[in-house]
């Protein structure tokens, strides 16, 4: 099994491919069905931001490990317009539509670690990790 | 991949077979709104049992379908949301709050039958 998959994101079909490939990679690490669904949903949200705002980019999914557990790290990057106000984009309005409507606060709740780097004109890179169970 | 839509009496059943791209979802939206008129349908069931992801776009589109078909005189029921999908939707903050849902196709049909035979429709 490969430890990394990279999917170029240029169309809505690529969004589906990215989440399916990530699910396959993560399934081998012992993540529960619920965690696999949370991971796939998070990728769907973030990859759609690429097609919506940046037109094209990439989703890279890789296996990460600490001493006691393995997990999946997702890096979604683009060279699009970037986000001027990250604080606003990350503000949690839950269902009320507060924020920039990019689904970032909701996506952050689906994963274990979440980081975003972005600036106007310099693209956006979202990195998140979903951990599997601790190894006995 | 297009979603097949079956006509069963006054009800349309759209049965999602596999993962949907955004394009598929928008096509489903157009198809059901058109067919509700063509078949003079009173109800629509969208069966999402096969969906492993219901993200914000799919949720928003299903709400739009329910609202549009209601304006065309038909009630929509979403059936078959899987437990882990429901969990992810709640975490994400998606609720489908004003859309009818039912556990599965059988429950959805029973719900619509009740709606269509209700007193405001002149009884049975």
Q: Could you report the predicted ipTM of this complex, rounded to two decimals?
A: 0.90
How far is it, in rounded angstroms, from Cα A105 to Cα A102?
Answer: 8
- State which residues of chain B have pLDDT below 70: 119-124
Looking at the structure of chain A, the number of domains it has is: 1
pTM exceeds 0.90 for this model:
yes
Residue in chain B closest to A51 (alpha carbons) equals B22
Query: Residue B53 and residue A103: Cβ atoms within 8 Å?
Result: no
CATH among 3.30.450.20, 3.40.50.300, 1.10.540.10, 3.30.750.24 for B5-116: 3.30.750.24
- The size of chain A, in residues, is 136
Using an 8 Å Cβ cutoff, are A103 and A15 in contact?
no
Tokens of A112: 């274990």
Contacts of B20 in chain A (CB under 8 A): 16
Contact residues, chain B to chain A, C-beta under 8 Å: 19-23, 52-57, 82-85, 87-88, 91-95, 97
User: Phi-psi region for residue A95, left (φ > 0), alpha (ψ -120 to 50) or beta?
Assistant: alpha
In this complex, do A15 and B22 lie within 8 Å of one another by their Cβ atoms?
Answer: yes
Which run of H or E residues covers position A77?
strand A69-78
Instruction: Say if the Cβ atoms of B53 and A15 lie within 8 Å.
Output: no
pLDDT tens series, chain A, 136 aa: 568 999 999 999 999 999 999 999 999 898 999 999 999 999 999 999 999 999 999 999 999 998 889 999 999 999 999 998 888 888 876 544 555 667 899 999 999 999 999 999 999 999 999 999 887 7
Q: What is the CATH number of the domain that holds A25?
A: 3.30.565.10
């Amino acid at each position: 099994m490969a430890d990394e998959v990279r999917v170029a994101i240029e169309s809505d079909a690529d969004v589906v491919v990215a989440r399916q490939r990530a699910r396959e990679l993560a399934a081998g690490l012992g993540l529960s069905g619920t965690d696999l669904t949370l991971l796939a949903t998070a990728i769907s949200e973030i990859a759609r931001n690429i097609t919506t705002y940046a037109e094209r980019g990439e989703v890279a999914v890789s296996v990460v490990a600490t001493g006691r557990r393995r997990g999946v790290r997702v890096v979604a990057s683009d060279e699009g317009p970037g986000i001027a106000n990250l604080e606003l984009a990350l503000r949690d309005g839950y269902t009320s539509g507060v924020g920039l409507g990019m689904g970032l606060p909701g996506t952050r709740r689906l994963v274990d670690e979440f980081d975003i780097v972005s600036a106007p004109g310099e693209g956006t890179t979202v990195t998140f990790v979903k951990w599997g169970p601790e190894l006995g | 991949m297009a979603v097949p839509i079956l006509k069963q009496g006054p009800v349309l059943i759209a049965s999602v077979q596999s993962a949907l791209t955004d394009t598929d979802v928008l096509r489903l939206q157009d198809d059901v709104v058109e067919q509700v008129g063509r078949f003079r349908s009173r109800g629509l069931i969208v069966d999402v049992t096969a969906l492993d992801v219901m993200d914000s776009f799919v949720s928003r589109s299903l709400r739009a379908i329910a609202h549009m078909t209601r304006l065309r005189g038909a009630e929509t029921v979403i059936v078959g949301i899987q437990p882990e999908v429901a969990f992810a939707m709640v975490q994400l903050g998606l609720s489908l709050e004003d859309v009818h849902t039912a556990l599965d196709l059988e429950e959805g049909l029973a719900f619509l039958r009740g709606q269509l035979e209700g007193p405001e429709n002149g009884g049975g």
